[in-house]
Amino acid sequence: MDNGAFCVKTKVYTMSCSCPRRCRPWQGKFISRSGRTTEITDLNGRKYKVYPLSQTSYGEPDGLFGINCGHRPRGVSDGLFTKTSKTSEEYGADDEELYYKVCKQRELERKVRKSKTEADMLDAAGDSEGARTVRQKANQYNKELKGYCQQNGLKYRSDRVKTYGAIEPKKTLDKSDGSGIIKVDRVFRKMGNTGAFSVLPEKMSKKHIRDIADKFGFDISGLTLNIDMNEELLRMPFAGEAVPEHIGTITFFPNAFRSEEELIRTMYHESIHVEQFKEYGVEYVQNHLEEFEKLAYEAENAFIECLKKEGKL
C-alpha cells in the first residue's frame, strides 16, 4: 500500500453533521493521497474501498479539511488497524436534524465574535463607553449561545467565540490623591523567551500553543498541556511526548518551539498518540511502538501537507 493512505476521522464531534455538506460524505472513508491504493484490509480481514484524494472535495472552501471542517486524517497501514469511525451513511435520520442545529450554533458563534471584534475596535479608537455597550451585547449573545447549546445537547466551544483584540489593562488603586479612583495602567507583555531559550522564536507558553492551534484550526480541547523547561532537552532530538501515565496529557519540549511548523507538527503528532492510547491501550501501543510511531508520522505529514496546499503554512 502507499504510505499516504488515511482514514477520515471526526475529532470534535462523533458525527459528521458538524461539518460542511461537501466534507460530510467522506466521514469514516479511506483515502489515498497518491491514488495508487484502491483497497485496504483491517486486523479482522475485512476489506474497505480506498478513494483517491483527487476524487474528494479537498481543496474547496466548504470541502474536506476546509472551513469549519472538524475532520482529521488518521494514518493506517494495511492489515494493522481497526476501524472505529462510522461513515456518514451509517448514521441515522437524526444526523440531518443535528446538522441544522450545529449550523444555528455556528451562526450564534459568529454574532458573538462580531460583537467582540467591534468592541475591540472601539477600545482601540478610544471610545471606552461605546466598547462597554457593545461588550455587554456580546455577553448577552454568548449567554444565548450557551443556552442554545445546553437545550440541544451541543458542546459549547469557547475557542469559536475567541477574538484577539486589545489586551485587558491592569487596574490598580491610585492612592496618590486619596481619591480612591482606580487608575488603568498600560501593560507590556513579555514578548519572547529568555535565558537558554532565547534562541527559540516561538514563545514557550500554553497560551501560545493554544493560539497556534486556533490559527490552524486544530482542536486541542480536552488535552492537558505541559511544557518541560529543562535546558538539557535543547540538545536532544525530541520535541514532545504524549504522557502514557496520564492519557490526554501532552508535554512539549523546548525544540517544539523552534518554528511555528514544528509546534503544530508536535501537537498534531502527539495528539495522534493520545488517540492511539485511548483506542488500543497504552501497553499494546508501547509493545508495537515502531508501527504506531510510523502511523503517527504519516498522519502528521498528511496534515501538514494539507495546511501547505491551503496556503496556511
Q: Each residue of 3-27: pLDDT tens digit?
A: 455 555 544 333 334 455 677 777 7
- Report whether pLDDT(85) > 80: no
Please, are residues 182 and 172 in contact by the beta-carbon 8 Å criterion?
yes
The predicted model gives 245-263 an average pLDDT of: 94
Q: Which residues contact 80 (CB under 8 A, 6 or more apart)?
A: 43, 291
Q: What is the pLDDT of residues 123-170, one digit of tens each?
A: 888 888 888 999 999 999 999 999 999 998 888 888 788 876 554 444
- Report whether pLDDT(187) > 60: no
Joined together, the cell numbers standing for residue 178 give 486619596
- 178 band by pLDDT with thresholds 50, 70 and 90: low
Is the alpha carbon torsion for 166, 263, 302, 284 positive or negative? Answer: negative
The predicted model gives 81-98 an average pLDDT of: 64
- Report whether pLDDT(245) > 80: yes
**Which is more confidently placed, 8 or 249?**
249
- Report whether pLDDT(35) > 80: no
Identify the weakest region by mean pLDDT among 15-24, 57-66, 117-126. 15-24
The predicted model gives 243-258 an average pLDDT of: 93
Provide the mean pLDDT of the chain: 79
- Report whether pLDDT(94) > 70: no
- Cα 30 to its chain centre, rounded Å, is 21
Identify the weakest region by mean pLDDT among 108-122, 152-166, 285-299. 152-166
The predicted model gives 188-215 an average pLDDT of: 84
Identify the weakest region by mean pLDDT among 4-8, 191-195, 255-259, 281-285. 4-8
- 122 band by pLDDT with thresholds 50, 70 and 90: confident
* Per-residue pLDDT, 186: 45
* Per-residue pLDDT, 251: 95
* Per-residue pLDDT, 161: 86
- Report whether pLDDT(77) > 50: yes
β-pair partners for 8? 73
pTM to 2 decimals? 0.47
- 1 band by pLDDT with thresholds 50, 70 and 90: very low
- Report whether pLDDT(49) > 70: yes
The predicted model gives 263-272 an average pLDDT of: 94
- 102 band by pLDDT with thresholds 50, 70 and 90: confident
**Which is more confidently placed, 243 or 312?**
243
Bridge pairing between strands 47-52 and 30-32 = parallel
Task: Give me the amino acid identity at 153.
Answer: G
Joined together, the cell numbers standing for residue 130 give 461605546
d(CA 139, CA 272): 35
Give the per-residue SS3 of the chain: CCCCEEEEEECCCCCHHHCCCCCHHHCCCEEECCCCCCEEECCCCCEEEEEEHHHCCCCCCCCCCCCCCCEEEEECCCCCCCCCCCCHHHCCCHHHHHHHHHHHHHHHHHHHHHHHHHHHHHHHCCCHHHHHHHHHHHHHHHHHHHHHHHHHCCCCCHHHHCCCCCCCCEEEECCCCCCCCEEEECCCCCCCCCHHHHHCCCCCCHHHHHHHHHHCCCCCCCCEEEECCCHHHHHCCCCEEECCCCCCEEEECHHHHCCHHHHHHHHHHHHHHHHHHHHHCHHHHHHCHHHHHHHHHHHHHHHHHHHHHCCCC
Please, are residues 71 and 8 in contact by the beta-carbon 8 Å criterion?
yes
- 32 band by pLDDT with thresholds 50, 70 and 90: confident
